[in-house]
């Protein structure tokens, strides 16, 4: 048994999904958190799966995630549907509900955020709403875990009894008559195509060509449908789209007037008052810079270094204890070296930055959960349009500061193919969390007087390159205007401790998984290549090792960037698997020596950081890019372009800096 969970963006679907299934999916207070279908088992019902679909306002598709939702409802054969609606925006949410009812699938309407409605003095007559729509209506609060069991019981009941919506909601008026006429014309075709009759008729009336093609209508049948539509337009005095939408909203307005008591103290009034400051023309950008500056200051200059110092002491204590144990056991020196100088040095160098990652995502989660991130997208619309993008692109770009993979996937929320592809190309310029340990290590080693300032400069430099790249793309490969930008601004809310904690826990888990898988394996491989010569003889001289041979072959290529040691070249090569591998490789190859011994001066260090910032993120990001572009050759082309840009930028900086200095 599979239950589809569908609703508008930012109505609380993912939170409800977590309550229903016990999953730990990311919950955010801005639209577009879910960009692909997620599936989990219903609590206490092993035979039932719940599928969390991307948020949509309508089943008429414009973007990739909207197609995912509609295709699943039409072709995924769900046994039932939970349609979640934000009760504080009931009228808007019911538009999708009417389309869900037309699918003829057993359905339950869940009214979320009932606690917010009641807190403002509002109420809703669920029984009257159920009678008007012909499906069960269950009030819930996903955030406070209220009504969840009643909702689960209700959807299981309607599915097991096969209680399908029987009521033709829009049976009256000109639109109802038109739907009835089209139903009669296409009944056999809809059955053959496996499409719900009422849904197919409504989509034809609104002029959706893919549905007409799927029904395989003859020319005569298409003409008959068009005649019905023409009569509808004449009766209503508007075109087909306006006639359909207007009739639906007129019905929704009548229903809301009968069942809904509007809150006397709406939360939106409080949010509007805050927005007059945070999104105002004068203070929006200074406050944004101030907020992000404070986040970086606390992360990299106050809380992060304190936690990192504790982590480094812990890692060093474990390393020393393990080395003493191996020595007492008489373990062969080669194996001791592998464990101490390879695994512990490589993995431990990355693990010490876990506190910095956790602190950064604590602040980002607070900003996201409060609703401020949606405002960032809003205020960034105007500057982004100057470089050929819309404000909606800011959501994937902001996610890129966490990880490039979900950021690349989030580009599906862009309905315009031009904007989507441009955003895909810009995401890697955002400094993901995997680059953060590299920045922090080099900042502490070479710029100890102001490590936080260097890290902020690198983040800003990535943004500058994204702006320049977007400006170039919009004038060359992606000419044209960006799509219109429409974004719902959610109400400000106090961040949920549970949501913030879950995001921190998830990021820590992802970091540890990578440390003990990719980085662990990379550390072992690097140690082996570093400890054996081409004839597989154990060597204490790293200059005679296989890795040195590889690095020295690449060294002439990187010489114009100021890299004089083969170890640096090897670190950049392993960084293609995962950016954390850059740090672990340098730690293994340096053998405990100071990082400063590998670089001639600070100019070469900054050149190295520029290259690390701009070149291809990692194998996982490449795989995600290939999937979104649908072409291996295109993904390879993008990766080569990123490496070329990184090489050119680092080389130009180094050469100019050397001439100036």
167-189 mean pLDDT: 80
pLDDT exceeds 90 at position 83: yes
Which DSSP symbol is given to 58?
-
The answer on pLDDT for 63 being more than 80 is no
Angle between helix axes 372-379 and 354-370 (nearest 10 degrees) is 80
Q: What is the pLDDT, as a whole number, of residue 647?
A: 94
Mean pLDDT of 151-172: 83
- What does the DSSP 8-state code read for residue 621? H
Q: For 2-160, which CATH superfamily applies?
A: P-loop containing nucleotide triphosphate hydrolases (3.40.50.300)
Q: Would the CA dihedral through 407, 93, 74, 27 be positive or negative? A: positive
What is the rounded distance in angstroms from the CA atom of residue 490 to the CA atom of residue 54? 17
Domain boundaries, the chain: 2-160, 173-239+251-260, 284-481+503-516, 528-660
More confident residue, 394 or 616: 616
Query: Is the model's pLDDT at 122 over the cut of 60?
Result: yes
Phi, psi of 524 (to 5 degrees): -65, -45
Question: CB–CB of 397/426 below 8 Å?
Answer: yes
pLDDT at 36: 64
Tell me whether strands 123-124 and 2-7 are parallel, antiparallel or unpaired: unpaired
For the segment 300-327, the average pLDDT, to the nearest whole number, is 84
pTM over 0.75: no
Checking DSSP bridges between strand 260-261 and strand 2-7, what pairing results, if any? Answer: unpaired
Q: What's the confidence (pLDDT) of residue 34?
A: 52
Among residues 450, 468, 463, 446, the alpha carbon closest in space to that of 608 is found at 446
Q: What is the DSSP string of 399-463?
A: HTTT-HHHHHHHGGG-S-HHHHHHHHHHGGGS--TTTHHHHHHHHHHH-TTSHHHHHHHHHHHHH
DSSP 48: E
> Which tokens in the block code for residue 407?
């950021």
What is the three-class DSSP state of 578?
Answer: coil
DSSP 3-state assignment of 388?
Answer: coil
> What pLDDT is recorded for position 415?
64
The four Cα atoms 71, 77, 79, 81 give a dihedral, to 10 degrees, of: 10
Query: Cα–Cα distance between 322 and 39 in angstroms, integer?
Result: 42
Furthest C-alpha separation in the chain: 94
* Mean pLDDT value of segment 333-344: 81
Q: What is the structure's pLDDT at 313?
A: 87
Average pLDDT, the chain: 83
Query: Which residue from 601, 576, 577, 575 is spatially nearest to 586, judged by alpha carbons?
Result: 575
**What was the pLDDT predicted at 5?**
93
Considering only 464-473, 553-562, 607-616, which range has the smallest mean pLDDT? 464-473
Confidence of residue 594 (pLDDT cuts 50, 70, 90): low
Bridge partners (DSSP) listed for residue 42: 45
Share of the chain above pLDDT 70, in %: 93
Min mean pLDDT across 81-90, 498-507, 644-653 is at 498-507
Domains 2-160 and 173-239+251-260 in one fold: no
For 544, which DSSP code? Answer: G
DSSP string, 83-150: EEEEGGGHHHHHHHHHHHHHTT--EEEEEE-HHHHHHTT-EE-HHHHHHHHTS-EEE-BTTTTBSHHH
Please give the average per-residue pLDDT across 420-447, as a whole number.
Answer: 84
Helix (H, G, I), strand (E, B) or coil at 166: coil
Round to whole Å and give the CA distance between 308 and 125.
54
Average pLDDT, integer, range 406-415: 72
Is 80 exceeded by the pLDDT of residue 358?
A: yes
C-alpha 187: how far from its chain's center?
A: 41
CATH topology for 173-239+251-260 is Helix Hairpins (1.10.287)
Angle of helix 372-379 relative to helix 267-278, nearest 10 degrees, comes to: 50
How high is the pLDDT of residue 24?
Answer: 59
Q: Pick the range with the lowest mean pLDDT from 139-153, 617-631, 644-658.
A: 617-631
- Mean pLDDT of all residues in 31-43: 70
Mean pLDDT in residue range 221-248? 86
CA distances from 193 to 165, 189, 212, 213, 434 (A): 21, 6, 10, 10, 48
pLDDT above 70 for 26: no
- At 266 the pLDDT is 60
| pLDDT, position 565 | 87
pLDDT over 50 at 30, yes or no: no
Where do runs of H (alpha helix) occur along 371-403? 372-379, 381-386, 394-399
């Amino acid at each position: 048994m599979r239950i589809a969970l569908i609703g508008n963006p930012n109505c609380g679907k993912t939170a409800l999904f977590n309550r229903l299934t016990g999953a730990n999916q990311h919950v955010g207070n801005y639209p577009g958190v879910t960009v692909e279908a997620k599936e989990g088992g219903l609590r206490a019902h092993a035979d039932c799966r719940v599928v969390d679909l991307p948020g949509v306002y309508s089943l008429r598709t414009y973007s990739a995630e909207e197609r995912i939702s509609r295709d699943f409802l039409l072709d995924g054969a769900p046994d039932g549907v939970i349609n979640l609606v934000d009760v504080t925006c009931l009228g808007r949410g019911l538009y999708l509900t009417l389309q869900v009812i037309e699918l003829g699938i057993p359905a339950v309407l869940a009214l979320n955020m009932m606690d917010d409605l009641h807190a403002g003095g509002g109420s809703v007559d669920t029984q009257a709403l159920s009678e008007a729509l012909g499906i069960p209506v269950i009030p819930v609060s996903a955030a406070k875990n209220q009504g969840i069991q009643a909702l689960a019981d209700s959807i299981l009941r309607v599915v097991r009894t096969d209680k399908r919506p029987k009521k033709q909601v829009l049976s009256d008026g000109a639109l109802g008559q038109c739907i009835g006429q089209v139903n009669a014309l296409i009944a056999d075709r809809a059955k053959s195509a496996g499409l719900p009759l009422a849904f197919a008729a409504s989509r034809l009336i609104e002029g959706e060509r893919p549905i007409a093609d799927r029904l395989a209508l003859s020319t005569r049948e298409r003409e008959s449908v068009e005649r019905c539509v023409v009569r509808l337009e004449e009766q209503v005095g508007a075109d087909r789209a306006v006639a359909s939408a207007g009739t639906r909203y007129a019905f929704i307005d009548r229903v809301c007037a009968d069942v809904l008591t509007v809150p006397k103290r709406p939360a939106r009034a409080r949010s509007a008052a805050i927005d007059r400051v945070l999104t105002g023309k004068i203070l929006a950008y200074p406050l944004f810079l101030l907020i992000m500056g404070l986040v970086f200051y606390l992360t990299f200059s106050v809380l992060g270094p304190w936690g990192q110092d504790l982590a480094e002491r812990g890692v060093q204590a474990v390393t020393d204890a393990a080395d003493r144990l191996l020595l007492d056991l008489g373990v062969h020196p080669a194996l001791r070296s592998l464990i101490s100088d390879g695994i512990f040095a490589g993995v431990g160098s990355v693990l010490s930055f876990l506190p910095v990652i956790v602190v950064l995502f604590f602040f980002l989660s607070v900003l996201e959960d409060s609703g401020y991130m949606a405002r960032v997208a809003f205020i960034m619309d105007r500057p982004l349009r100057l470089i050929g993008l819309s404000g909606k692109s800011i959501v994937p770009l902001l996610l890129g500061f966490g990880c490039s993979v979900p950021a690349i996937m989030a580009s599906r929320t862009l309905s315009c193919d031009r904007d989507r592809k441009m955003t895909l190309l810009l995401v890697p310029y955002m400094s993901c969390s995997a680059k953060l340990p590299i920045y922090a290590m080099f900042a502490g080693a070479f710029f100890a007087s102001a490590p936080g300032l260097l890290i902020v400069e690198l983040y800003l430099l990535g943004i500058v390159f994204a702006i320049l790249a977007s400006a170039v793309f919009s004038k060359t490969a992606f000419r044209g205007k960006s799509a219109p930008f429409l974004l719902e601004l959610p109400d400000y809310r106090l961040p949920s401790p549970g949501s913030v904690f879950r995001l921190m826990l998830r990021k820590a888990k992802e970091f540890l998984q990578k440390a003990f898988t990719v980085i662990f394996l990379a550390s072992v491989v690097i140690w082996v290549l570093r400890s054996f010569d081409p004839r597989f003889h154990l060597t204490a001289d790293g200059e005679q090792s296989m890795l040195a041979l590889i690095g020295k072959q690449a060294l002439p290529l990187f010489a114009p960037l100021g890299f004089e040691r083969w170890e640096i070249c090897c670190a950049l090569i392993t960084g293609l698997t995962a950016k954390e591998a850059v740090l672990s490789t340098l730690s293994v190859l340096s053998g405990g020596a100071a990082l400063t011994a590998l670089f001639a001066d600070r100019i070469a260090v900054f050149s190295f950081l520029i290259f690390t910032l701009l070149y291809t993120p990692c194998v996982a990001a490449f795989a995600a890019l290939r999937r979104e572009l649908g072409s291996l050759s295109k993904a390879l082309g993008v990766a080569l372009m990123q490496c070329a840009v990184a090489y050119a930028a680092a080389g130009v900086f180094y050469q100019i800096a050397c001439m100036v200095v």
